[in-house]
Structure 1
Amino acid sequence: MRALPGYPGPRHWRQVPVTDQHYVDIGTGDPVLFLHGNPSWSYLWRSLLGTLSPDFRCIAPDLAGFGLSPPVPEPQGSVDALERQLWCLDRLFRHLTAGQGLPGRRWTLVMHDWGGPIGIAWALRNPGVVARLVVLNSAAFPWPAGHRLPMYLRWIRAGGPVAALARATNALPRAAVRLGVVRRLGAAERMAYLLPFAGRQHRRTAVEFIRCIPRSDDDPAWRLLEPTDADGGLAGLPMFIGWGTRDRVFTQAVLAEWTRRFPQARVRRYDGAGHFVMEDAAGQLDRHVRDFLRSS
C-alpha cells in the first residue's frame, strides 16, 4: 500500500465487534500485544511487526479514537480517557481469546508513551495474563522529582486557545513526527502517521489525552497504577527496556525510575534515537526485542 509504506496489508486488518476497534493480526506463536501512545497509531509498529511475526502472534490495535479506530461512547462508570481505553482493551482481549483462538496466558506487552500506563493498568487488572514486558519511552508511575513537561504540552494541558488550535488543526501530530525523531522521516512515512488525524474527532482524542497527563503525585490517574512497585504480579516479570535517550518528554530520569522499580530489566539505550525510538533505532531495536522474547 503506497499510502502506508511498510504497514501490513488489509488481509491482516480486523475489527472488534463490540467497539469497532481496528487491529492488525499477523504471525503465529505466543501473543504479543502492541500498545501505542499519543499522537500515533499502530503504523509505528510496522518494523517490529515484520521482525517478530515469523515467531509470534502480533496484535497491534489502534487505541479508540486513534488510527483506524473510531472513538467509543463512554461506558457506564468510566471516569476518563484512560478508563475508556481499558474498557476497549478488555473487549479486545475477550474477542481474541473467546473467538480467535488466542490463549489466556503467556502474553507479552510492548508499550510506548501512553501505551505504558494503559498496558500496566490492564495487566494489574488481569493478573496472570502477562508474562513479559517491553517498555519503550514511557512512564507508569508519578513523574520523578524535578521532571517538567515541554512547554507546548503544558499549554495544551491547560486548555484555552492552544488546545483549541490543536483540535482545529493537525499541528500536534505534525510536530510529533518531526520533533519525536532524530532521523527525519520520509514524506510518505510522515503522511502515513498524519493520515488518521485529518479527521477532527481523532484530533480531539489526541488533545484529550494530553489534558489527561497527570500533573502531580496525587492525580487520580496514578491510582490505576499504584501496585506497580509492590507485588502486583509484575515486579518479577522479565522486562526489556529500549530507550531513546534524546526524548524531550521521557527523559533519562524517567528511565532511572523504571530501573529502580524493575531492577531485573534488561536495558538498551539508543543514543541516536528520540521519542519514537522504533523509528530512529528500528534495526537494532527489532533485533534486541526479538532476542529478548526468544530468550526470556
Structure 2
Amino acid sequence: MRRREFMELTAGALMAGALAGCTSRVAGGGTSPRGAGTVSPLDAAAFRAERRFARTDFGRIAYVERGAGDAALFLHGFPLNSFQWRGALERLSPHRRCVAPDFLSMGYTEVADGQSVAPDAQVAMLVALLDTLSIRTVDLVANDSGGAVAQLLVTRHPERVRTLLLTNCDEEHDSPPPALMPVIELAKAGKWVDEWLVPWRADKALARSAQGIGGMCYADPAHPTDEAIEYYFAPLVGSPRGKALAHAYAAALERNPLEGIAPALARCKVPARIVWGTGDTLFSPDSPGYLDRAFGNSRGVRRLEGSKLFWPEERPDVIAEEARRLWGVG
C-alpha cells in the first residue's frame, strides 16, 4: 500500500478516565504516588490510575511518572498519547524517574483557552513541565511527531538534555511527510476526526485491519489492542473542543518546524541514537541515515526489519535495551 494511503486511513478512539482520589504534591490534582522502582504491569486501568496533572500557563499537563533519580522524558507520536510508552516505563523505571506527558491537544492534557498547540508551543510546554516537576535535565526518548519536538528541544535547550533516543520520526527534509497531507487538509476542514477516528473507535477490528491504523502503523496484527484504541482516541472524539484541538494539532504540522535546523544538529554535543523500523510507510527510508549524519554526536543507527511507525509500543524491550546502553546503566 502506498505511503500516501496511510494517513487517508488514520483514525481511532480513546477512553476518557476519571482520576483516582489522591492529590499530587507537585501537580495539584493527580493520582497515585510515583512508585520508585516499580515494574508492575501498566494496563489501561493502571495507567489511568497513575495519571497526574501539572499546572502550567499552557494548561493542566497530563503525565504518568514512575521511578526515581535522574529523569527520562518520553514523547509520544500522533495521534497517540503517553500510553504508548507503558511498556518502556515498566522496564526503565528501575533505572530512571520516567515521565511520560500527553502533548497539548493529545490525550488527557487540558489545554488553556487560546493556547497554540504547534511544535514550538509543545517545546515551551515541556520546559515548563520540567520546571514544575523540578527536573533539570532528562534523557529524551521520542517517536513520530514527538521526534520533531525532541529535535527542537535538544537544539534550543541542550543544557536540559543528557541523551537523545530517536525512533521513526520527522527530519528536516521529511516534515511533514507527504503521507500526512490528507490528514492535514481534512483537519483544516474540521472533518478528520469524524471521518476517520470516530469509525475506528466504533469498529476496533477495522482499526486493526490493513485499512486501519493497525495495519499501517503496527507490524503485529493484534495491535493496537481494544484498550489502547479506547485510551488513545476517546479524548479526541469525546467533545467538540477535543475534536477542534485534535484538528489544530494536525493542521499545525503543515509548516515544517525543522526547517533550517541542520546547523544546530551539527553543533549538538548530546549523544543521539537512532532506532528505525524499516517497515514504516509514513517516513522516508532515507531519514535514519540523514539523522545519523546530521547529529554532531550520533551514536549510530539500528534498523529493525519490518517494524513500522509505532514499533516502540510493540517492542518495549528494544527501547529498554537501547536506552540502557545509551544511558550507561545495567
TM range (shorter): 0.7 to 0.9
TM-score normalized with structure 1 length: 0.80
Using the TM superposition, give the Cα deviation of residue 96 of structure 1 relative to its aligned residue in structure 2, in angstroms.
1.2
Show the counterpart of 1:168. Answer: 194
Q: Please tell me the residue identity of whatever aligns with 2:320.
A: D
**Does structure 1 retain, via aligned residues, the 8 Å contact 2:171–2:287?**
no
Say whether residues 1:52 and 2:92 are aligned partners.
yes
Cα distance in 1 for residues equivalent to 2:328 and 2:273: 12
Say whether residues 1:278 and 2:305 are aligned partners.
no
Cα distance in 2 for residues equivalent to 1:128 and 1:244: 29
Q: Deviations over 1:120-165 (max 9, x none)?
A: 2123222311110010111242329xx9622xx32232348x9433
Q: Which runs of 5+ in 1 are unaligned?
A: none
2:122 to 85, 106, 116: 85
Cα distance in 2 for residues equivalent to 1:21 and 1:255: 31
Q: Deviations over 1:13-67 (max 9, x none)?
A: 2211222111111101211001112100000000000010011000100011111
1:131–1:212 distance in 2 versus 1, CA, 3 Å: same
Q: Deviations over 1:255-294 (max 9, x none)?
A: 1211121373232211131100113333333323223323
1:163–1:254 distance in 2 versus 1, CA, 3 Å: farther
Count of matched residue positions in the alignment of Structure 1 and Structure 2: 274
Higher relative contact order, chain-length normalized (CA < 8 Å, sep 6+): 2
**Does structure 2 retain, via aligned residues, the 8 Å contact 1:62–1:68?**
yes
Say whether residues 1:197 and 2:224 are aligned partners.
no
Which ranges of 4 or more aligned residues in structure 1 deviate by more than 6 Å? none
Cα distance in 1 for residues equivalent to 2:324 and 2:242: 32
1:8–1:109 distance in 2 versus 1, CA, 3 Å: farther
Taking only the aligned residue pairs, the percentage that are identical comes to: 24
Using the TM superposition, give the Cα deviation of residue 85 of structure 1 relative to its aligned residue in structure 2, in angstroms.
1.6
The Cα RMSD (Å) is 3.0
Using the TM superposition, give the Cα deviation of residue 227 of structure 1 relative to its aligned residue in structure 2, in angstroms.
4.0
Give the SS at the match of 1:237: coil
Give the SS at the match of 1:269: strand
Cα distance in 2 for residues equivalent to 1:163 and 1:255: 33
Cα distance in 2 for residues equivalent to 1:192 and 1:11: 13
Say whether residues 1:269 and 2:303 are aligned partners.
yes
1:275–1:48 distance in 2 versus 1, CA, 3 Å: same
1:1-296 alignment runs, 5 A limit? 5=43, 8-9=46-47, 12-18=50-56, 19-75=59-115, 81-97=118-134, 102=135, 104-105=136-137, 107-143=138-174, 149-150=178-179, 153-159=180-186, 163-169=189-195, 170-171=197-198, 174=207, 175-184=212-221, 185=223, 186-199=225-238, 200-214=240-254, 221-223=257-259, 225=261, 227-231=263-267, 234=268, 236-262=269-295, 264-294=298-328
Cα distance in 2 for residues equivalent to 1:87 and 1:264: 25
Cα distance in 2 for residues equivalent to 1:86 and 1:21: 13
Give the SS at the match of 2:293: helix
TM-score normalized with structure 2 length: 0.73
Q: Please tell me the residue identity of whatever aligns with 2:104.
A: A
